[in-house]
């Protein structure tokens, strides 16, 4: 958050700057396994997507892995095998994830096994969402901030990713990645805007406060550093800190969410 | 062999000083028109070729000779020399003033400037700038800047477009010790690095040591930038200044008591934000953005043997957005109190008390219930004692010691009264004591060979109070131990040998070699691509070892055409231990466990520098070329494989030309070319839940496009008399509008989300600027 402000100063210089698309040769790395999966609290269809990296400039779809062995296991429970449904996707229908439990996802693909664990944390209820007018700055248009408010739990070190939908559509691009942790605000009643976006009058915004564990926060934080609003600021970008233990990219995370909606007025 | 040289050196010091019937000539060498002390002016003796001495940082010199008749020759580069015949039969005090020329001096004046200094001096790897000499060089926004001019000299590289940060011989930005009147300056830039904090109107002498660093300096691994402020005009009241598009400057100098004391006050302020007032946009109207610098110095001759100096610098950047909803200010303050005392005609003493402070404060109050501010800083108190001893013409010995108390304030979170969300937090301050003791001698062995050797012992002690963490290899805290006030947490110390030598081949050429070791106990943490005010300094500690640099250099120096052209080539190799980098996603702001975010490794750098300068005639200027590599190895980065540092620019060329078209017209031009910075770009991509993610395979495996730029300038002197001067300067930065990449980012093609493209951002196209400078 801090960095963003510092870059406001840089904006003044950006006014005289110019941008252009350049021809830059990039190497083609050997394809690497990418496993992405979110497990939400409650009974839902649980899905895992397995693909491979592609060359950076190619418009082609990534290679999808449909012959992997994928299992999910609740701590103290049995491993359940997920079924391949094509397009590199695997699913366990009506799978129940419970607060307080740790889940381990195991994927055997391309001859290697990757495992990752994540803990389903408590639900932190979203109290209210509200909108407020913001005048435009540095030549940007006016808009509305959507504020969310909730009571932070007294437990230290909580991490959230705020997911939101605009007029029914997931805002899931890198620039919408919005993370929050409570090290400076533990236990307070919190009110803050979704910094990542300004909304317009009449927009319908659905906000989900996704409570997650520290390994997920570190993943998304480092992901934000290369693919989010902070991208390009680091002198030394690196692959995100994944929780996969054997070289795979992506993540497996457990989320406990609380949702509220508003129409901007 | 080394032992033998050392012993014979020692013998010669004492042998010479034991000779009977010797007398000492001592005094100060000054500028005739302003009374400013001249640093490094020389005294030689016609009857004894090869015998001579140079004035120290306060213009003081001392030369001991046998009784007899001599002709003394005082010289300083760019000044007319002064000769005087004397009969030496008693100790003699001789204060001399040298003029620039065109002025009448009573005694005989011969035109024989000290032009082969670069050949005959024992020191090597030194870039010296005369703030006056660089006036005509075109610069960005018309702001003259000594640091940016230094970036045009060999071995010194700019930290980026328009940036006043610099890399010396492959070292990092924090490996440069920047001293302003002996006080360290911790953040030497304004406005994200676009301006240096040094207002060249107030400066007298700028010397950058890249290698063979004398034992009197220490504390940073790569270089010492020693900047000395003017003392102020001792002869008469004078005012100078300039009005530019970005800023204005004003300098006032005057004697306090004629010939006894003087002062100088120099101020600079930018006013870009004043234009915001005319904006129609309310937000812009209510925003501020400026910086200012204030330099002040006074000196007074108390007695024949005592002189005191008080100097200070204060500068700040201020940024306020929309009635301070977001406010950010940062800056340095330094103060130096010095006392020169002449113990006897051969022994000169200087005692300094030095204060230095850097801090920043950032406040955010977009919402009443969430107003907060973050502050961080570093503060130093330093006591320093130096002696210069001139036992005989062949030896100039310096020795001394210093003790320094550092206080690090990593961060405080303050919240406003109405804030109900944030919890105030202070990361405990840390204290450390740094000290050093040194001795060095510049010794003439014979007409051809001279050596400069020294030894420094430096120490650093991290002390309590505080709760000090230990970390495992993953950066997790393993234990926390509490320490009492002043209780030692960790002690480091080490010997730092320094050596350089010169062998004079003939009148116009010499070879030089040097070695130095330096320990660096302070480290700058900065993980963004630009220098930002939130970069923090941390001490060496239980978890962070001192950086150690060893450097060897070898050079050949040659002047051509009656010293019209100066040429050198130098090669260097530098070994760096205990370098610092960061874990992925490291958070450096308000982090009480920041040491856990660090990873450690080693590095080395090597290269060659070539310099050719034309010093006289209507056309003057230089060509500078550096070929260099700088590489790092960290077990935790790049899978332990070696990778180039960001500043690993292989080729770096600068050409500077100044052409005197007519007595009142000067044209100037600068051309710069360097290999693009090493950078990390993706070698693949993948998708994570809608987010397009670049896939990286190696650190700094790619390069930015090559950088090149031409700047042009023209100066018209409207009026010039002995005392009054006014001129207009027009300069054009980036004259052929080269779009040099400031950043390169990657994104989806707008109308084809499946396809990616690389986008470069160029900061400045053509930037013309105009300024008016005056002096009376």
How many domains does chain A fold into?
Answer: 2
B93 and B57 co-located in one domain: yes
Q: What are phi and psi of B478, to 5 degrees?
A: -105, -35
B183 and B325 co-located in one domain: no
Nearest beta carbon to residue B688 from set A21, A190, A223: A223
A115 and A128 co-located in one domain: no
Which residue among B188, B210, B227 closes a domain?
B227
Write out chain A residues lying below 8 Å of B413, CB-based: 184
Residue B694 within any structural domain of the chain:
yes
B273, B286, B685, B749: best mutation site toward chain A, by most A Cβ within 10 Å?
B685
Residue A12 within any structural domain of the chain:
no
In the prediction, which pLDDT does B348 show? 92
Which residue among B227, B257, B273 closes a domain?
B227
Predicted model pTM: 0.86
Given phi > 0 = left and psi -120 to 50 = alpha, else beta, which region is B663? alpha
B672 and B577 co-located in one domain: yes
A259 and A146 co-located in one domain: yes
Residue of chain A nearest B744, judged by CA positions: A232
Distance of CA B719 to the CA centre of its chain: 33
In the prediction, which pLDDT does A12 show? 47
- C-alpha B60/C-alpha B347 separation (Å) is 10
- C-alpha A36/C-alpha B573 separation (Å) is 47
B501 and B538 co-located in one domain: yes
Residue B119 within any structural domain of the chain:
no
B755 and B739 co-located in one domain: yes
Q: Would you state the structure tokens that stand for residue B615, as one six-digit string?
A: 């010093």
Element (H, E) at B8: helix B2-18
Running DSSP on this structure, what letter comes out for residue B314?
E
Yes or no: say if B713 and B729 are a contact pair by the CB < 8 Å rule.
yes
Yes or no: say if B183 and B202 are a contact pair by the CB < 8 Å rule.
no
B143 and B36 co-located in one domain: no
Pairing of strands B126-129, B92-93: unpaired
A164 and A51 co-located in one domain: no
Residue A38 within any structural domain of the chain:
yes
A94 and A136 co-located in one domain: no
Query: Nearest Cα to B129, choosing from B226, B267, B37?
Result: B226
Which tens digit of pLDDT belongs to each residue from B484-537? 989 999 999 999 999 999 999 988 899 999 999 999 999 988 766 556 777 788
Yes or no: say if B215 and B455 are a contact pair by the CB < 8 Å rule.
yes
Write out chain A residues lying below 8 Å of B692, CB-based: 173-174, 227
A55 and A110 co-located in one domain: yes
B326, B686, B750: best mutation site toward chain A, by most A Cβ within 10 Å?
B686
| Alpha-carbon separation of residue B730 from B149, B618, B717, B736 (angstroms) | 17, 20, 12, 16
Is A57's CB within 8 Å of B688's CB?
Answer: no
- C-alpha B760/C-alpha B767 separation (Å) is 19
- C-alpha A139/C-alpha A128 separation (Å) is 31
Domain of residue B168, CATH code: 2.170.130.10
Domain of residue A188, CATH code: 2.60.40
Is A239's CB within 8 Å of B695's CB?
Answer: yes
- C-alpha A235/C-alpha A231 separation (Å) is 10
- C-alpha B466/C-alpha B595 separation (Å) is 14
Is B691's CB within 8 Å of A251's CB?
Answer: no
- C-alpha B593/C-alpha B117 separation (Å) is 51
Instruction: Please list the alpha-helical segments (H only) found in B111-244.
Output: 117-120, 146-150
In the prediction, which pLDDT does B323 show? 67
B140 and B100 co-located in one domain: no
Running DSSP on this structure, what letter comes out for residue B773?
E
B133 and B172 co-located in one domain: yes
- C-alpha B462/C-alpha B434 separation (Å) is 9
In the prediction, which pLDDT does B615 show? 84
Residue A93 within any structural domain of the chain:
yes
A134 and A108 co-located in one domain: no
Q: Would you state the structure tokens that stand for residue B182, as one six-digit string?
A: 């002996």
A166 and A186 co-located in one domain: yes
- C-alpha B294/C-alpha B421 separation (Å) is 39
Which tens digit of pLDDT belongs to each residue from A107-166? 999 899 999 999 999 998 988 888 888 776 555 677 888 888 888 888 888 899 999 988
Element (H, E) at B9: helix B2-18
A110 and A60 co-located in one domain: yes
A111 touching chain B per CB within 8 A: no
Pairing of strands B22-31, B92-93: parallel
Which residues are CB-contacts of B1 (< 8 A; sequence separation ≥ 6)?
Answer: none
Distance of CA B445 to the CA centre of its chain: 32
In the prediction, which pLDDT does A144 show? 87
B480 touching chain A per CB within 8 A: no
In the prediction, which pLDDT does B126 show? 85
Write out chain A residues lying below 8 Å of B702, CB-based: 24, 26
| Alpha-carbon separation of residue B10 from A29, A165, B36, B122, B440 (angstroms) | 63, 81, 35, 18, 12
Instruction: Please list the alpha-helical segments (H only) found in B222-338.
Output: 282-285
Query: Nearest Cα to A237, choosing from A246, A229, A251, A227?
Result: A227
Which residue among A119, A153, A170 closes a domain?
A119
A84 and A109 co-located in one domain: yes
Per-position b or e across B597-628, b if 16+ CB within 10 A of its CB: bbbbbbbbbbbbbebbbbbeeeebbbbbbbbb
pLDDT > 90: percent of chain A = 42
In the prediction, which pLDDT does B6 show? 53
Which tens digit of pLDDT belongs to each residue from A57-107? 888 888 999 999 999 999 989 999 999 998 999 999 999 999 999 999 999
Domain span at residue B594 reads: 228-775
How many domains does chain B fold into?
Answer: 3
Residue B686 within any structural domain of the chain:
yes
Interface confidence, given as ipTM, is 0.90
Yes or no: say if B414 and B375 are a contact pair by the CB < 8 Å rule.
yes
Which residue among A59, A87, A119 closes a domain?
A119
Residues 47-106 of A with CB under 8 A from B: 51-62
Residue A8 within any structural domain of the chain:
no
Domain span at residue A39 reads: 33-119
In the prediction, which pLDDT does B279 show? 62
Q: Would you state the structure tokens that stand for residue A49, as one six-digit string?
A: 């997507």
Domain of residue B70, CATH code: 2.60.40.1120
Residue A25 within any structural domain of the chain:
no
Yes or no: say if A176 and B694 are a contact pair by the CB < 8 Å rule.
no
| Alpha-carbon separation of residue B200 from A80, B206, B615, B647 (angstroms) | 73, 10, 21, 27
Which tens digit of pLDDT belongs to each residue from A166-175? 888 888 888 8
Which residue among A87, A119, A151 closes a domain?
A119
B110 and B193 co-located in one domain: no
In the prediction, which pLDDT does A17 show? 65
Exposed (0-12), middle (13-18) or buried (19+): which is B107, by Cβ within 10 Å?
exposed
Q: Would you state the structure tokens that stand for residue B674, as one six-digit string?
A: 């360097």
| CB half-sphere exposure, B564, CA atoms < 13 A | 7
Write out chain A residues lying below 8 Å of B192, CB-based: 9-10, 13
Q: Would you state the structure tokens that stand for residue B607, as one six-digit string?
A: 């290269």
Residue A4 within any structural domain of the chain:
no
Which residue among B178, B199, B227 closes a domain?
B227
A15 touching chain B per CB within 8 A: no
Which residues are CB-contacts of B463 (< 8 A; sequence separation ≥ 6)?
Answer: B431, B432, B433, B483, B486, B487, B488, B489
Yes or no: say if B494 and B471 are a contact pair by the CB < 8 Å rule.
no
Residue A249 within any structural domain of the chain:
no
Nearest beta carbon to residue B699 from set A12, A62, A236: A236
Residue A7 within any structural domain of the chain:
no
A111 and A154 co-located in one domain: no
Is B686's CB within 8 Å of A232's CB?
Answer: no
Q: Mean pLDDT for each 10-residue chunk of chain B (776 residues)?
A: 53 52 86 84 82 85 86 84 86 84 44 65 82 75 82 89 85 90 86 80 89 92 91 87 85 86 90 67 72 90 90 87 75 92 90 92 72 85 93 89 92 74 78 94 89 94 89 86 90 94 90 94 77 80 92 92 89 94 78 86 95 89 94 90 91 92 89 91 89 89 92 86 83 88 84 84 81 85
Nearest beta carbon to residue A235 from set B646, B695, B701: B646
B600 and B729 co-located in one domain: yes
B143 and B222 co-located in one domain: yes
Looking at every residue in chain A, the average pLDDT score rounds to: 86
Residue B120 within any structural domain of the chain:
no
Q: How many CB atoms lie within 10 A of CB B463?
A: 21
pLDDT > 70: percent of chain A = 90
In the prediction, which pLDDT does A217 show? 92
Residue B276 within any structural domain of the chain:
yes
Is A184's CB within 8 Å of B374's CB?
Answer: no
In the prediction, which pLDDT does A215 show? 92
In the prediction, which pLDDT does B121 show? 82
Nearest beta carbon to residue A57 from set B527, B589, B755: B755
B104 and B148 co-located in one domain: no
A222 touching chain B per CB within 8 A: yes
A37 and A154 co-located in one domain: no
Nearest beta carbon to residue A221 from set B423, B585, B763: B585
A84 and A130 co-located in one domain: no
Write out chain B residues lying below 8 Å of A60, CB-based: 754
In the prediction, which pLDDT does B4 show? 56
Residue B82 within any structural domain of the chain:
yes
């Amino acid at each position: 958050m801090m960095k963003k402000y510092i870059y406001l100063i840089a904006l003044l210089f950006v006014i005289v700057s110019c941008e252009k698309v350049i021809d830059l040769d990039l190497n083609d790395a050997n394809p690497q396994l990418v496993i992405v999966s979110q497990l939400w609290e409650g009974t839902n269809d649980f899905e895992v997507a397995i693909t491979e990296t592609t060359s950076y400039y190619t418009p082609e779809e990534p290679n999808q892995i449909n012959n992997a062995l994928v299992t999910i296991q609740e701590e103290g429970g049995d491993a359940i095998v997920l079924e391949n449904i094509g397009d590199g996707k695997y699913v366990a229908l009506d799978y129940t994830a419970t607060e307080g439990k740790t889940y381990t996802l195991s994927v055997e693909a391309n001859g290697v096994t990757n495992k990752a664990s994540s803990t389903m944390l408590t639900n932190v209820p979203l109290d209210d969402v509200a909108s407020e007018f913001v005048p435009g700055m540095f030549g940007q248009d006016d808009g509305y901030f959507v504020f969310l408010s909730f009571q932070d739990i007294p437990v230290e070190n909580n991490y959230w990713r705020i997911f939101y939908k605009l007029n029914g559509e997931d805002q899931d691009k890198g620039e919408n990645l919005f993370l929050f942790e409570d090290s400076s605000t533990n236990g307070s009643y919190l009110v803050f805007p979704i910094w990542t976006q300004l909304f317009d009058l009449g927009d319908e915004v659905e906000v989900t406060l996704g409570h997650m564990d520290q390994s997920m926060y570190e993943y998304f934080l480092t992901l934000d550093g290369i693919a989010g609003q902070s991208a390009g600021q680091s002198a030394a970008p690196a692959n995100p800190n994944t929780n996969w233990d054997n070289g795979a990219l992506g993540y497996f995370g457990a989320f406990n969410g609380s949702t509220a909606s508003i129409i901007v007025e | 062999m080394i032992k033998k040289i050392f012993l014979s050196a020692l013998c010669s010091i004492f042998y010479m000083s034991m000779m009977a019937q010797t007398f000492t000539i001592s005094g100060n060498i000054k500028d005739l028109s302003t009374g400013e002390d001249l640093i490094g002016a020389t005294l030689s003796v016609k009857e004894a070729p090869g015998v001579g001495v140079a004035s120290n940082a306060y213009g003081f010199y001392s030369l001991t000779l046998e009784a007899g008749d001599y002709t003394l020759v005082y010289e300083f580069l760019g000044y007319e020399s002064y000769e005087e015949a004397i009969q030496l039969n008693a100790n003699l005090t001789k204060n001399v003033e040298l003029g620039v020329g065109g002025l009448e001096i009573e005694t005989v004046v011969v035109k024989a400037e000290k032009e082969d200094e670069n050949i005959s001096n024992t020191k090597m790897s030194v870039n010296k700038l005369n703030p006056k000499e660089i006036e005509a060089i075109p610069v960005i926004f018309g702001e003259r800047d000594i640091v940016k001019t230094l970036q045009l000299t060999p071995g010194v590289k700019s930290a980026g477009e328009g940036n006043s940060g610099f890399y010396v011989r492959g070292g990092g930005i924090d490996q440069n010790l920047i001293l302003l009147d002996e006080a360290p300056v911790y953040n030497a830039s304004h406005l994200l690095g676009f301006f240096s904090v040094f207002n060249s109107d107030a400066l007298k002498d700028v010397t950058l040591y890249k290698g063979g660093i004398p034992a009197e300096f220490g504390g940073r691994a790569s270089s010492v930038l020693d900047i000395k402020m003017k003392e102020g005009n001792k002869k008469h009241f004078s005012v100078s200044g300039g009005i530019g598009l970005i800023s204005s400057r004003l300098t006032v100098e005057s004697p306090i008591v004629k010939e006894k004391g003087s002062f100088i006050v120099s101020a600079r302020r930018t006013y870009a934000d004043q234009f915001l007032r005319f904006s129609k946009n309310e937000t812009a109207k209510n925003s501020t953005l400026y910086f200012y610098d204030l330099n002040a110095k006074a000196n007074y001759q108390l007695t024949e043997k005592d002189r005191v100096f008080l100097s200070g610098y204060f500068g700040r950047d201020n940024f306020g957005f929309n009635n301070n909803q977001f406010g950010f200010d940062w800056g340095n303050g330094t103060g130096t109190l010095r006392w020169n005392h002449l113990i006897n005609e051969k022994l000169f003493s200087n005692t300094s008390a030095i204060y230095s402070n850097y801090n920043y404060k950032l406040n955010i109050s977009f919402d009443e219930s969430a107003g907060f501010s973050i502050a961080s800083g570093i503060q130093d108190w330093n006591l320093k004692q130096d002696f210069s001893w001139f036992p005989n013409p062949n030896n100039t010995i310096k020795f001394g010691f210093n003790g320094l108390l550092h206080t690090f304030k990593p961060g405080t979170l303050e919240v406003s009264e109405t804030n109900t969300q944030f919890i105030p937090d202070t990361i405990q301050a840390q204290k450390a004591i740094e000290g050093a003791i040194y001795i060095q001698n510049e010794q003439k062995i014979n007409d051809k060979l001279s050596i400069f050797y020294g030894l420094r012992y430096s120490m650093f002690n991290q002390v309590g109070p505080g709760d000090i963490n230990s970390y495992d290899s993953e950066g997790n805290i393993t234990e926390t131990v509490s320490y009492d006030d002043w209780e030692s947490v960790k002690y480091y110390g080490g010997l730092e040998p320094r050596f350089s030598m010169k062998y004079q081949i003939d009148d116009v050429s010499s070879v030089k070699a040097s070695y130095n070791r330096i320990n660096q106990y302070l480290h700058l943490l900065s993980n963004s691509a630009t220098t930002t005010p939130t970069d923090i300094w941390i001490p060496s500690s239980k978890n962070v070892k001192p950086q150690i640099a060893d450097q060897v250099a070898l050079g050949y120096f040659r002047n051509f055409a009656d010293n019209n052209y100066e040429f050198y080539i130098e090669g260097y190799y530098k070994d760096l231990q205990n370098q610092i980098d960061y874990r992925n996603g490291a958070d450096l702001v308000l982090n009480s466990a920041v040491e856990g975010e660090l990873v450690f490794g080693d590095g080395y750098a090597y290269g060659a520098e070539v310099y050719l300068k034309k010093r006289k005639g209507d056309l003057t200027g230089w060509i500078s070329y550096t070929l260099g590599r700088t590489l790092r190895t960290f077990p935790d980065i790049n899978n332990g494989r070696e990778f180039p540092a960001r500043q690993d620019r292989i080729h770096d060329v600068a050409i500077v030309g100044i052409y005197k078209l007519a007595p009142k017209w000067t044209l100037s031009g600068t051309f710069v070319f360097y290999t693009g910075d090493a950078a990390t770009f993706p070698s693949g991509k993948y998708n994570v839940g809608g987010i397009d993610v670049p896939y990286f395979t190696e650190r700094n495996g790619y390069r930015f496009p090559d950088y090149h730029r031409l700047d042009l300038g023209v100066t018209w002197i409207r009026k010039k008399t002995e005392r009054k001067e006014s001129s207009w300067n027009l300069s054009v930065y980036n004259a052929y509008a080269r779009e040099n990449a400031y950043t390169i980012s990657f994104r989806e093609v707008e109308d084809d989300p499946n396809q990616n493209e690389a986008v470069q951002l160029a900061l400045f196209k053509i930037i013309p600027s105009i300024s008016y400078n005056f002096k009376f």
